[in-house]
C-alpha cells in the first residue's frame, strides 16, 4: 500500500506539473506578440491554408522530409509508434475499454520494438554523424535513453515478467477518482512508472515543448497577407499612438 | 588573391558535398565595431569604450557598464516582445535537420556556422538564466548537461563574430521541422550587442546616412538629380528617345523606391534604366524622391524594429509630400521583404494611396503583366549573346511574395526573363526557389572587413552556377537584388568567373525593349553625324563671324 500511496502522490504531482507547466508555456507563447509578418514563403494566403500547412507539418513532418530522409523516417516511426503505444495504454484507465483501443491492442503490443529501434537509430545519429554529435548536449542523449528504457521496461512486462495488470488498472482508475489503491511491487513496473514520471516532470521545462510550440511558430502559422491586412503588435501600436520612434520614449 | 583558402568548385553536380567539421576556421574578432557617434544616432547606448584594436573586441572593459545585466535585460525584453524568439529558443530539439543547410557552414566548415549551433550561442545563455532546467543544473554545477552556459566575455565575442556570419537568409527555416528561423535569433543577438557597445560599423554608419540624408550612400539631392540627368542622356544617346527619370515631381502617380546602388553601381544602374524605359513605354507618371531615396532598410539586419520603422516612415512621408497614388519598389531583396511583409505594419495604413493596386507593388509586378499582354515592343534576339540563369534572392524567395499566388516570387522574374531572352536555364533544383542559396553577402555582411566569409559563403551558389555554365552553356546570371549584384560582382572572380556575368533582370528588359520612336543604330549614327556636322558648321560659322568681327574691329585702327 505504501508504494501505491507514493506513486499516487507522484502521479498526481506529475500530472499537475505537466498540465500547468504546458498551460503556462502556452499562455506565454500566446500573449507574446509577433510584431512582424514572417511566414517562411511561399506561404498560404488564407487561414484555411495555414491549417493545412500546419497539419502537414504536425502529422507528416513535411519540412523534415525535405530536409533529411533518414532523420524523417526515424522520427516518423518513433512518433507514430509512440502514438500507438500511448493509445494502447488507455486500456489501463478506461472501463469499459473503447473499441478503437481494443482494435490497436495487437499492433500496440509490438509497436514497442519498433519504438526502441527508431530511438536507437536516433541515438546512433548523435554518436556517428559529426554535425549531430557537435550539437548534442548530454540531456539530448539522456532523453533518448529515458524513452528507450521506458520502452524496454514496458516490453519486459509484456513479454517476460508479467505484472498483475488488473491491480495496475485498479490503481490508475483509483487515481482518477482520488482513491488510494495498491500497486504490485514488481521491479519492471516500478521502473517503467518512475521513468514515465520523470518524462512528465521534464516535459514543460525541456525541448519536449516542441509539441505545443510548433503551433506558435510564426514562420509556419502566419497567413501571407501583409499587403491586404495590416498587422500590428500592441507595443508597436503604442509607438504610433504616442507618435514616438523609440520604445524608451514612451510614457 | 587572398590569405585564406578559396573553396574549390567542380561543376559536376552543382551541389557542394556536406563537409566534415573543421572547428574554428572562422573564429575571429568579427567586423569593425561602430563608434559612439553612430550608435547615438540609432538611439543605442554610448557609454562604452572604443576598443583599441580588434584583439580587444568583446573585452569587458570596452563594453558598457553592467554589460552582463544589460545584455540579459535586453534578452528578456526581446523575448517578451517577439514570439518568434521566445518560441524558437524553447523548442529546438537539436535534430540536426538544419546542420547542412547554411551556405556559410558549407563554405567554411566551421561548426558554429551550422544554424542550430549559431542559435545555441544565444540559446545556451537563455537556458542558463531564464529556464528552470538551466538554473537547476547551474546550481548543481553541471549547466552543460542541459546545454546551458554562463554569459562571459568569450560568449560575447562568439556572438559578435558568428552572428555577423549569418545573412539571415532563412534557408534553415525552410528545412526545420518547426520552422525555427535563425534570422530571428541573429537579429535579436545583434540588437542585444547594440545595447552593450558592440554595434556593427557597416550597418550603423549606413543607417546614419539614411536617417540624415535619405540613402545608404549619403548622396544628396543635387548629386542625385545630376546622376539621373546623366542616365537620361545615356538613354537618349542610345535610343534617340527622351526617357525621363524624374525626381521629386509632385503629383506623380507612382513613387519609385529603389536601392541607392541602382543610381551608380554596375549592373544595378542598367536595371534602373530598364524600369525607366518600361514606365516610359507604359505611359506611367512616376517619380523618385530625394527624401526617401533608398529602398534598402538595414534596420531589419540589426533587428531594430524602431530603426527599421524610422527609415520606413520616410517612404510614407515622401509619398504624402509628393501626393502619389502608388508606391513601387525596384530590384532589391531585403528591401522587398521589408516593403512587402513589413511596410504596411511599420508605416501604414496607406489609405491615402490608390487601393486598386497592391501596396506596395514590385516593379516586376508591373513589367510581367505588361510583357504578357504584349504592351511592350520586345526584340528577344537582342539578348541572344547571352544564356541566362536566375538567382532567387533569399529575402524575396523565403520572406515575401510577388503576384497573387504563393510562389509568384519565383515565376514572375522567370517569366520576365523568358519574355525578353531566348536562352534560359535553371540551376539545380536544390539551389533555386525556396531552397535558393544566399549570395553570401546579405544581412549586413556586404562589407570589406567580412570578405573571407563572403567568399566562402558564395561557394554553394558558385558551384551551381559552374554546373550550368559547363553543362548548359549559361553565360550570365540575372539577379533582382542590389546586395546579390554587388556581392557577386565582387566575389565571382575568386571562382574564375568575370564581373560582367552578373546582370539585372530589368537590364535584360532594357536590352530587348524597342521604345516607341526608338532609332536604329544606323539612324543614331546618322543622327550623331548630322548633329556633329551641325555642331561643326555652327562652330565654323561662329569662328567666321568672330574673324569678321575682329577684322571689322581692326579696321578703324588701320
Q: What is the pLDDT of residues A189-231, one digit of tens each?
A: 999 999 999 999 999 999 999 999 999 999 999 999 999 999 9
B contacts of A40 (beta carbons < 8 Å): 170, 173-174, 179, 181, 398-399, 434
Helices (H), B140-267: 153-162, 171-175, 182-194, 201-212, 221-239
Angle B325-B328-B333 from CA coordinates, rounded to 5°: 155
Q: Does A129 touch chain B (CB under 8 A)?
A: yes
Contact B494, B500 (CB under 8 A): no
B contacts of A28 (beta carbons < 8 Å): 86
- Which residues, listed in sequence order, are joined to residue B255 by a DSSP beta bridge? B287, B327
Contact A154, B112 (CB under 8 A): no
Residue A14 has pLDDT above 60, yes or no: yes
| Band (A108; pLDDT cuts 50, 70, 90) | confident
CA torsion sign for B426, B430, B431, B435 is: positive
Architecture of domain A2-249: Up-down Bundle (1.20)
Q: DSSP secondary-structure letter at B504?
A: E
| Closest CB from B91, B144, B305 relative to A213 | B91
B95: closest CA among A46, A213, A144? A144
Mean pLDDT of all residues in A61-81: 98
Rg (CA), chain A: 23
| Band (A95; pLDDT cuts 50, 70, 90) | confident
Residue where the block lists cell 554553394: B460
B contacts of A207 (beta carbons < 8 Å): 90-94
Contact B269, B231 (CB under 8 A): yes
Helices (H), B290-407: 305-322, 333-337, 343-347, 363-372, 394-399
A contacts of B400 (beta carbons < 8 Å): 41
B205: closest CA among B33, B391, B435? B33
Q: Does A15 touch chain B (CB under 8 A)?
A: no
CA of residue B350 relative to chain centroid, distance: 24
| Closest CB from B133, B180, B405 relative to A205 | B133
Q: Does A202 touch chain B (CB under 8 A)?
A: yes
Residue where the block lists cell 556517428: A128
What single string gives the DSSP state of each residue in B517-551? TPPPHHHHHHHHHHHHHHHHHHHHHHHHHHHHHHH
C-alpha cell at B67: 554589460
Preceding omega of B356 cis (within 30 degrees of 0): no
Residues B190, B202: Cα–Cα separation, whole Å: 13
Give residue-wise pLDDT tens across range B2-37.
Answer: 678 899 999 889 999 999 999 999 999 999 999 999
Residues B82, B138: Cα–Cα separation, whole Å: 26
The two counts, helices (H) then strands (E), for chain B are 23, 7
B114·A35 Cβ contact <8 A:
no
B146·A137 Cβ contact <8 A:
yes
Mean pLDDT of all residues in A18-47: 98
- Which residues, listed in sequence order, are joined to residue B288 by a DSSP beta bridge? B247
CA of residue B395 relative to chain centroid, distance: 9
A34·B82 Cβ contact <8 A:
yes
Residues A173, A168: Cα–Cα separation, whole Å: 9
Mean pLDDT of all residues in A226-247: 97
Residues B267, B488: Cα–Cα separation, whole Å: 10
SS percent in chain A: helix, strand, coil, step 5: 75, 0, 25
Structure confidence at residue B522 (pLDDT): 86
Structure confidence at residue B558 (pLDDT): 46
Preceding omega of A233 cis (within 30 degrees of 0): no
Q: What is the pTM of this model?
A: 0.94
pLDDT in single tens digits along all 558 residues of chain B: 467 889 999 988 999 999 999 999 999 999 999 999 999 999 999 999 999 999 999 999 999 999 999 999 999 999 999 999 999 999 999 999 999 999 999 999 999 999 999 999 999 999 999 999 999 999 999 999 999 999 999 999 999 999 999 999 999 999 999 999 999 999 999 999 999 999 999 999 999 999 888 899 889 999 999 999 999 999 999 999 999 999 999 999 999 999 999 999 999 999 999 999 999 999 999 999 999 999 999 999 999 999 999 999 999 999 999 999 999 999 999 999 999 999 999 999 999 999 999 999 999 999 999 999 999 999 999 999 999 999 999 999 999 999 999 999 999 999 999 999 999 999 999 999 999 999 999 999 999 999 999 999 999 999 999 999 999 999 999 999 999 999 999 999 999 999 999 999 999 999 999 999 998 888 888 888 888 898 899 989 988 988 888 888 776 554
B440: closest CA among B473, B411, B420, B463? B463
Residues B185, A218: Cα–Cα separation, whole Å: 13
Structure confidence at residue B218 (pLDDT): 86
Residues B394, B171: Cα–Cα separation, whole Å: 8
Rg (CA), chain B: 26
Q: Does B130 touch chain A (CB under 8 A)?
A: no
C-alpha cell at B223: 548629386
The alpha-carbon gap from A119 to the nearest alpha carbon of chain B, in Å, equals: 12
- Which residues, listed in sequence order, are joined to residue B390 by a DSSP beta bridge? B478
Residues B328, B343: Cα–Cα separation, whole Å: 12
B133·A202 Cβ contact <8 A:
yes
B181·A137 Cβ contact <8 A:
no
What single string gives the DSSP state of each residue in A118-129? HHHHHHHHHHHS
Percent of chain A with pLDDT over 90: 93
Residue A78 has pLDDT above 80, yes or no: yes
| Closest CB from B87, B100, B397 relative to A217 | B87
Contact A163, A157 (CB under 8 A): yes
Amino acid at each position: 500500500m505504501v508504494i501505491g500511496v507514493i506513486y499516487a502522490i507522484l502521479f498526481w504531482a506529475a500530472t499537475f506539473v505537466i498540465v500547468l507547466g504546458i498551460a503556462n508555456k502556452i499562455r506565454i507563447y500566446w500573449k507574446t506578440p509577433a510584431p512582424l509578418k514572417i511566414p517562411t514563403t511561399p506561404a498560404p494566403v488564407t487561414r484555411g491554408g495555414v491549417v493545412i500547412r500546419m497539419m502537414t507539418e504536425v502529422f507528416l513532418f513535411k519540412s523534415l522530409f525535405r530536409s533529411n530522409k533518414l532523420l524523417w523516417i526515424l522520427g516518423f516511426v518513433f512518433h507514430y509508434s509512440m502514438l500507438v503505444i500511448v493509445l494502447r495504454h488507455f486500456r489501463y484507465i478506461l472501463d469499459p475499454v473503447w473499441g478503437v483501443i481494443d482494435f490497436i491492442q495487437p499492433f500496440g503490443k509490438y509497436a514497442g520494438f519498433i519504438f526502441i529501434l527508431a530511438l536507437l537509430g536516433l541515438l546512433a545519429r548523435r554518436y556517428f554523424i559529426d554535425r549531430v554529435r557537435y550539437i548534442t548536449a548530454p540531456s539530448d542523449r539522456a532523453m533518448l535513453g529515458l524513452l528507450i528504457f521506458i520502452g524496454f521496461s514496458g516490453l519486459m512486462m509484456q513479454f517476460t515478467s508479467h505484472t498483475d495488470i488488473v491491480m495496475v488498472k485498479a490503481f490508475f482508475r483509483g487515481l482518477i477518482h482520488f482513491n488510494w489503491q495498491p500497486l504490485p511491487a514488481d521491479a519492471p513496473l516500478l521502473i517503467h512508472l518512475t521513468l514515465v514520471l520523470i518524462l512528465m516532470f521534464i516535459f514543460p521545462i525541456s525541448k519536449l515543448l516542441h509539441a505545443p510550440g510548433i503551433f506558435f511558430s510564426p514562420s509556419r502559422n502566419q497567413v501571407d497577407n501583409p499587403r491586404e491586412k495590416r498587422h500590428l503588435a500592441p507595443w508597436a501600436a503604442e509607438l504610433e499612438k504616442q507618435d514616438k520612434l523609440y520604445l524608451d520614449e514612451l510614457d | 588573391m587572398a590569405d585564406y583558402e578559396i573553396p574549390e568548385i567542380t561543376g559536376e553536380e552543382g551541389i557542394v558535398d556536406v563537409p566534415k567539421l573543421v572547428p574554428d576556421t572562422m573564429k575571429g574578432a568579427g567586423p569593425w565595431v561602430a563608434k559612439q557617434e553612430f550608435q547615438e544616432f540609432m538611439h543605442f547606448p554610448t557609454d562604452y569604450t572604443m576598443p583599441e584594436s580588434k584583439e580587444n573586441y568583446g573585452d569587458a572593459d570596452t563594453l558598457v557598464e553592467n554589460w552582463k545585466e544589460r545584455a540579459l535585460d535586453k534578452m528578456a525584453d526581446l523575448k517578451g516582445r517577439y514570439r518568434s524568439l521566445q518560441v524558437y529558443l524553447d523548442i529546438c530539439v537539436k535534430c540536426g535537420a538544419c546542420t547542412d543547410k547554411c551556405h556559410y557552414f558549407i563554405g567554411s566548415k566551421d561548426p558554429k556556422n551550422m544554424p542550430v549551433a549559431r542559435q545555441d550561442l544565444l540559446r545556451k545563455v537563455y537556458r542558463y538564466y531564464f529556464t528552470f532546467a538551466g538554473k537547476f543544473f547551474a546550481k548543481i554545477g553541471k549547466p552543460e548537461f542541459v546545454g546551458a552556459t554562463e554569459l562571459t566575455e568569450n560568449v560575447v565575442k562568439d556572438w559578435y563574430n558568428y552572428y555577423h556570419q549569418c545573412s539571415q537568409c532563412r534557408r534553415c527555416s525552410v528545412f526545420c521541422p518547426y520552422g525555427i528561423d535563425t534570422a530571428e535569433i541573429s537579429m535579436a543577438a545583434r540588437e542585444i550587442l547594440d545595447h552593450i557597445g558592440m554595434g556593427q560599423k557597416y550597418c550603423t554608419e549606413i543607417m546614419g546616412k539614411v536617417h540624415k540624408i535619405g540613402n545608404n550612400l549619403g548622396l544628396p539631392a543635387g548629386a542625385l538629380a545630376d546622376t539621373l540627368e546623366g542616365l537620361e542622356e545615356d538613354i537618349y544617346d542610345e535610343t534617340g528617345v527622351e526617357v525621363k527619370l524624374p525626381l521629386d515631381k509632385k503629383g506623380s502617380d507612382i513613387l519609385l523606391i529603389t536601392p541607392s546602388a541602382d543610381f551608380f553601381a554596375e549592373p544595378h544602374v542598367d536595371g534602373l534604366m530598364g524600369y525607366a524605359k518600361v514606365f516610359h513605354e507604359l505611359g506611367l507618371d512616376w517619380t523618385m524622391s530625394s527624401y526617401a531615396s533608398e529602398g534598402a532598410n538595414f534596420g531589419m539586419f540589426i533587428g531594430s524594429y524602431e530603426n527599421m520603422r524610422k527609415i520606413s516612415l520616410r517612404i510614407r512621408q515622401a509619398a504624402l509630400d509628393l501626393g502619389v497614388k502608388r508606391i513601387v519598389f525596384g530590384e532589391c531583396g531585403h528591401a522587398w521583404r521589408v516593403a512587402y511583409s513589413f511596410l504596411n505594419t511599420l508605416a501604414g495604413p496607406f489609405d491615402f494611396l490608390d487601393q486598386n493596386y497592391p501596396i506596395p507593388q514590385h516593379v516586376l509586378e508591373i513589367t510581367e503583366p505588361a510583357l504578357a499582354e504584349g504592351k511592350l515592343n520586345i526584340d528577344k534576339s537582342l539578348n541572344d549573346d547571352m544564356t541566362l540563369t536566375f538567382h532567387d534572392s533569399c529575402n524575396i524567395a523565403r520572406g515575401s511574395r510577388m503576384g497573387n499566388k504563393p510562389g509568384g516570387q519565383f515565376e514572375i522574374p522567370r517569366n520576365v526573363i523568358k519574355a525578353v531572352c531566348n536562352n534560359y536555364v535553371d540551376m539545380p533544383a536544390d539551389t533555386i526557389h525556396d531552397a535558393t542559396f544566399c549570395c553570401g553577402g546579405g544581412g549586413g555582411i556586404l562589407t570589406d572587413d567580412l570578405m573571407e566569409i563572403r567568399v566562402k559563403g558564395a561557394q554553394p551558389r558558385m558551384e551551381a552556377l559552374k554546373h550550368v555554365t559547363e553543362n548548359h552553356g549559361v553565360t550570365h546570371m540575372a539577379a533582382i537584388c542590389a546586395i546579390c549584384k554587388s556581392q557577386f560582382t565582387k566575389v565571382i572572380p575568386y571562382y574564375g568567373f568575370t564581373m560582367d556575368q552578373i546582370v539585372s533582370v530589368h537590364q535584360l528588359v532594357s536590352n530587348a525593349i524597342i521604345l516607341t520612336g526608338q532609332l536604329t543604330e544606323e539612324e543614331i549614327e546618322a543622327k550623331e553625324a548630322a548633329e556633329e556636322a551641325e555642331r561643326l558648321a555652327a562652330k565654323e560659322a561662329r569662328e567666321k563671324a568672330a574673324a569678321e568681327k575682329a577684322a571689322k574691329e581692326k579696321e578703324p585702327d588701320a
